[in-house]
Structure 1
């Protein structure tokens, strides 16, 4: 397909430019000589690159055991991603002691379904591995290799404070039932994993080295302190997802790491769990990318809030959801609208702030409203 978009405001590195934008096949091509479509009154911007999102979970398991065919759920995920302007999505799947749809068996099912799914959105997989699962290190590494997983993030969600005090963790019974275990069996597992904490750093260091040698990108999640982040950085784990304090974010950048924050934090005006405000970190110039986290619409909402609150101009805010995450993922073929890049773009009505079209590699994954009328009418 060849097409030319005319008379739109096209977002570039220094702001909007009124210029035509050509698409030939899967690429942006200034010489494209296809049908001209008048987009007067619209903005054309780089499509979103989502570096971390688990909003797909509700499509795969709307109720426990309700959906057996994960492939059908992924089709619904594809539609939601497209409607929210996301051309590249990183689906963050747990591999955790938490069990249920966060357990190892569900992770295997998810990877198999993803491998065979036909989606218009370019979807990558991130596996979120719980570091205290020492007995799973070998099988986890084999799973990453078998499914060619490009991105691994290390979590530690064990309730260490409660376990150190010999107390039952908060919300324990509900979490046990979600895992498919009795409260007693679940507590025994937590205690056993907690007791082997001293063995984790050395095992994790070796696992990180093995994965890095295969070209896997590595990150950590919810780093609470600069010292914690420094420990991960020393293992070659350079991406810090959602650091919990401004000091931790600053230490990440000072130690050549990269900071990823949650877009919902920006939209809410702060963390829902009392952690550092993402807007504060962004104001300090410490953020490399925003992620949808648990809510895909938050990418667009966060960028527009940063602009409305006069924290960043649009062209700089948009970098955090396009070329910024693309760079961290090693995707040099997308993230901006320069000639020769992959034709990943969104067409947005600046009055309604609605995304009316999403294009992925030169194909429309979402088309509605006035843009659909101009293209089809």
Structure 2
């Protein structure tokens, strides 16, 4: 695996990537600044020309008026958990990965950062041991999309910190996020909300919930700060971006930005989101929040934050189809601006400079999308290689 956290999906060969030319005809191309008509020329693993044809192309595909967009980039998707535990009992990891890969492509996602929680949370089917196993299997697997690792570090758990530091040292992670799920902060604003989740949704007794609360509150503030400093420093040494998670206040954003955090992920208040923007952090929020019309926890709504100009990136979270739907939710902005939040902006946020836009010499990660009534993905190219096609293109 490369130093930017990429799990290599397919070997590059001269036959598959270095010379083959494909023309996508009769499409509406979503460029960084406009939607234009005309052909798109792919050559090898690159975009060779926008509104450019080639009479001697190896293949011509008529997309019949559909949109031609950059492949979507998901920097936080934990839907592998649902595939691995479909009814709270575990299935084979390889089968889960294959199903996730296909669902990823069906949502138009060509670069996927699996948000893997290094966290001892049996109620959510999470453990550091399972996280390490998932990382290893993703690294070894031959999949169609470009699969990468987003390591989620639960700062209240020493084992989680050790696990994330281990994958950083092994050079197999592309993004780290810092979580601090202490009851009464962040996503769970009160201890009562924390208990409600663990007793109701996670099927724990109240005594078990109290035990979890006590455990997570047992880590002192000085130790938490030391762990933050260590993880951020080691990520910086590895060239890996770091996100904070569930920021609640402007003060919290300032504190983490001072440590060197690059992204505010799921800020739960407008104050936190606005401060992140002021500090120059990338701000990432959930596409399901936008598509659904609000936060399921009563926190900051994605649409409200977009209206305030403080959302750079949208991610799939637990529901990849929402990432595909998000650019087609009306926000008063142009389609290229909305598409940017799921393509070029997430690419830039994690330091991927070769993809996320339809322009000459960018990596040929391209999706053909029929926006009505779906949207529905009709064709997917990953690194110039066609990996999926349905009806509607020929």
Same fold (TM over 0.5): yes
Q: What's the offset of the Cα at 1:135?
A: 5.4
Q: What's the offset of the Cα at 1:58?
A: 1.2
Question: Paired residue for 2:137?
Answer: 113
Looking at structure 2, the residues matched to 167 and 84 of structure 1 have their Cα atoms a distance apart, in angstroms, of: 32
Match runs of 1:22-101 below 5 Å = 22-30=41-49, 33-34=56-57, 35-67=59-91, 69-99=92-122, 101=125
Among 353, 356, 360, the residue aligned to 1:339:
360
Q: How many residues align?
A: 365
Contact 1:134 1:200 in 2 (8 A): no
SS in 1 for 2:347: helix
- Unaligned 5+ segments in structure 1 are none
Looking at structure 1, the residues matched to 376 and 159 of structure 2 have their Cα atoms a distance apart, in angstroms, of: 48
Question: Paired residue for 2:220?
Answer: 197
- Which deviates further from its counterpart, 209-218 or 294-303? 209-218
SS in 1 for 2:353: coil
Looking at structure 1, the residues matched to 45 and 189 of structure 2 have their Cα atoms a distance apart, in angstroms, of: 53
Against the structure 1 CA distance between its residues 168 and 359, is the aligned structure 2 distance closer, same or farther, given a 3 Å change threshold? Answer: closer
SS in 1 for 2:195: coil
Query: What does the per-residue CA deviation read over 1:237-278, in whole Å, with 9 as the maximum and x for residues that have no partner?
Result: 120111011111110011121100111111111111101111
Against the structure 1 CA distance between its residues 66 and 134, is the aligned structure 2 distance closer, same or farther, given a 3 Å change threshold? Answer: closer
SS in 2 for 1:37: strand
Looking at structure 1, the residues matched to 37 and 192 of structure 2 have their Cα atoms a distance apart, in angstroms, of: 64
Question: Paired residue for 2:288?
Answer: 264
Question: Paired residue for 2:12?
Answer: none
SS in 1 for 2:214: helix
Question: Paired residue for 2:377?
Answer: 355
Matched, 1:311 2:326: no
- Which deviates further from its counterpart, 357-366 or 79-88? 357-366
Q: What's the offset of the Cα at 1:354?
A: 1.7
TM-score for the superposition, normalised by structure 2: 0.86
- After superposition, the CA RMSD in angstroms is 2.5
SS in 2 for 1:7: strand
Matched, 1:330 2:356: no
Contact 1:177 1:183 in 2 (8 A): no
Looking at structure 2, the residues matched to 16 and 261 of structure 1 have their Cα atoms a distance apart, in angstroms, of: 25
Match runs of 1:3-18 below 5 Å = 3-18=22-37
Looking at structure 2, the residues matched to 71 and 53 of structure 1 have their Cα atoms a distance apart, in angstroms, of: 17
Q: What's the offset of the Cα at 1:186?
A: 6.4
Contact 1:130 1:157 in 2 (8 A): yes
Question: Paired residue for 1:207?
Answer: 231
Contact 1:163 1:169 in 2 (8 A): no
Looking at structure 1, the residues matched to 244 and 154 of structure 2 have their Cα atoms a distance apart, in angstroms, of: 10
Q: What's the offset of the Cα at 1:365?
A: 2.3
Contact 2:175 2:241 in 1 (8 A): yes
Looking at structure 1, the residues matched to 194 and 329 of structure 2 have their Cα atoms a distance apart, in angstroms, of: 40
Match runs of 1:138-287 below 5 Å = 138-146=162-170, 148-160=172-184, 169-173=195-199, 187-198=210-221, 199-287=223-311
Looking at structure 2, the residues matched to 6 and 365 of structure 1 have their Cα atoms a distance apart, in angstroms, of: 18
Q: What's the offset of the Cα at 1:116?
A: 1.1
Q: What's the offset of the Cα at 1:185?
A: 6.3
Contact 1:304 1:314 in 2 (8 A): yes
TM-score for the superposition, normalised by structure 1: 0.89
- Which deviates further from its counterpart, 242-251 or 34-43? 34-43
Looking at structure 1, the residues matched to 312 and 30 of structure 2 have their Cα atoms a distance apart, in angstroms, of: 19
Contact 2:128 2:159 in 1 (8 A): no
Q: What's the offset of the Cα at 1:280?
A: 1.5
Against the structure 1 CA distance between its residues 86 and 190, is the aligned structure 2 distance closer, same or farther, given a 3 Å change threshold? Answer: same
Looking at structure 2, the residues matched to 163 and 257 of structure 1 have their Cα atoms a distance apart, in angstroms, of: 23
Looking at structure 2, the residues matched to 207 and 350 of structure 1 have their Cα atoms a distance apart, in angstroms, of: 42
Q: What's the offset of the Cα at 1:173?
A: 4.6
Q: What's the offset of the Cα at 1:64?
A: 3.2
